[in-house]
Amino acid sequence: MSILVTGGGGFLGRYIVEQLLQSGESVRVFGRQSYPDLEALGVECIQGDLRDKESVERAVRGCELVYHVAALAGIWGTWTDFYGINVEGTQNIVDACQAWNVSRLVYCSSPSVTFDGSDQKGVDESAPYPERWLAYYPQTKALAEQIVLAAHQPDSLLTCALRPHLIWGPRDQHLIPRLIERAKSGKLRIVGDGKNLVDMVYVENAASAHLQAAGALLNTPNQVGGKAYFVTQGAPVRLWDWINEILALEGLPPVRKRVSANVAYFAGGIMESVFKMIGRMHVEPRMTRFLARQLATHHYFDISSARRDLGYFPQVSTEEGMRLLGDYLASRR
């Protein structure tokens, strides 16, 4: 039987697919595009939209394990898009898993499901979902996570969720390129005092955690099933020092200009209001309230549960990951 990876053509999804192939598994990918390079590796690719039940059922049918990685990510957009893809799409995945007797479902969630805009210092999975949300992405990811965890049934579908934070590494087409582009255009500013600590995770470690979670669901379902787990490098970094290290890999000078956290938050609120008023919901503002808080606050997490229950540890150190990222960026010049 096949293993399905939704979003298997994306950044994290490809690393999960590659690790599964290295283990000799039969892999199927579900995504909105075709992926000839994956097909050349023997991966079965099914094209479709998470919001289309028939496409989802076609992808899930005949699989014993599903990694649900696909999502609409971002800090801006419409509620309809975020809810449709992240919530309704996840419900379609769960329904299809139940209909076609899939035994295990591992969901890729996000630590932002617990973020209310304030500092998070060493919080664990007991942190509640917030009462207010600064963006549709974390809100819909939280709703989707709850759907997956509530679907856990020991005698049928085993489920769990992972919350990898700030996934980075070679082949990233979002975080790293955006930082570099903003730095080159002179639009990057340190938000706040520049001393905030954040957790992040190298992409191969995040992928390995998903495979370990699937194994734990099989071997210790009573311990892991129905739970969420933070996944990081296990050692927070100063966000702006780390960003400057990334820029240095590209031969760019460090960020020096600053803006206060309150000014950035206020500016983000104004930009959101203006963009909504003029109907620019598919053009991202330079700043939003969510982004301002993410860039200025502490957010690092206790991963002892993932270490204990999943056997997770970051196999690739941050230092080695930065070296690999540097080599990749150099190869792209």
What pLDDT does residue 116 have?
95
Q: The pTM is what?
A: 0.96
Q: What is the residue range of 307's domain? A: 2-172+200-233+301-314
In a domain, 179, yes or no: no
What pLDDT does residue 333 have?
83
In a domain, 19, yes or no: yes
Residues 6+ apart with CB under 8 A from 37: none
In a domain, 244, yes or no: no
In a domain, 153, yes or no: yes
Q: How far apart are CA 53 and CA 188, in angstroms?
A: 41
User: In a structure prediction context, what are the per-residue pLDDT tens digits for the chain, which is 333 residues long?
Assistant: 799 999 999 999 999 999 999 999 999 999 999 999 999 999 999 999 999 999 999 999 999 999 999 999 999 999 999 999 999 999 999 999 999 999 999 999 999 999 999 999 999 999 999 999 999 999 999 999 999 999 999 999 999 999 999 999 999 999 999 999 999 999 999 999 999 999 999 999 999 999 999 999 999 999 999 999 999 999 999 999 999 999 999 999 999 999 999 999 999 999 999 999 999 999 999 999 999 999 999 999 999 999 999 999 999 999 999 999 999 999 988
In a domain, 178, yes or no: no
Q: How far apart are CA 267 and CA 269, in angstroms?
A: 5
137 is catalytic: yes
What single-letter amino acid sits at 206? A
> Looking at 137, 229, 265, 300, which residue is catalytic?
137
What pLDDT does residue 1 have?
77
Distances (CA, A) of 179 to 42, 163, 201, 327: 34, 22, 17, 17
Q: How many domains would you assign to the chain?
A: 1
In a domain, 215, yes or no: yes
DSSP class of 301: E
Q: What are phi and psi of 124, to 5 degrees?
A: -110, -170
What pLDDT does residue 39 have?
97
In a domain, 267, yes or no: no
What pLDDT does residue 277 have?
94
DSSP class of 84: I
Task: Find out whether 325 and 249 touch, Cβ atoms under 8 Å.
Answer: yes
In a domain, 219, yes or no: yes
Task: Give me the CATH number covering residue 131.
Answer: 3.40.50.720
